[in-house]
Amino acid sequence: MKQRILRFLRDRWNRLKEQGYRLLEKAGLRKVNIGHAKPWDAMTPAEKAAFQHSYSNHASDFGLPSWSGSNAEALRQQFNAAASRVRENAQRITVQYKPFGIKGSGVSGGSAPVRFFEYIDPGGTRFYYYETLAGRFISAGRMSP
């Protein structure tokens, strides 16, 4: 019983914090880059590789077309739109510890707190989106059943 109450309070606190974050975003006081924010032509080779990795692993989750280097900018926009829909329509938002690393940073990956967005579409498919607490995109895709 005590665990259920603590979980309820933690979830409620996270929802209140998220409402505050969204108000700050709408007011323009907090900027969040959803997905891979830089245009394809402005990305470094490491950023291009990171985007291509994200796209190759998760495009099919969102029903996006296969990778094509000549259409990279259009595919980036489609991927970001799909990731944005998950983030904006999430029914549950929590803070969790997830392992991740930033390619090319020279720092090995580790576990860090992230904001985890979970969206269930009308067909029952579960999607996720997560970002650093500072608002930097990490990953988005379909959750395993």
Q: How is the chain split into domains, by residue range?
A: 32-142
What is the model's pLDDT at position 30? 55
Reported as a single tens digit per residue, the pLDDT across 101-144 is 665 556 666 778 888 999 999 999 999 999 888 888 889 999 98
For residue 114, the tally of other CB atoms under 10 A from its CB is 20
Closest C-alpha among 59, 60, 62, 36 to residue 49? 36
84 vs 104, which has greater pLDDT?
84
Written as one letter, the residue type at 53 is H
pLDDT tens-digit readout, 13-59: 777 776 666 666 666 655 556 778 889 999 999 889 989 998 999 99
Q: How far apart (Å, rounded) are the C-alpha atoms in residues 16 and 95?
A: 12
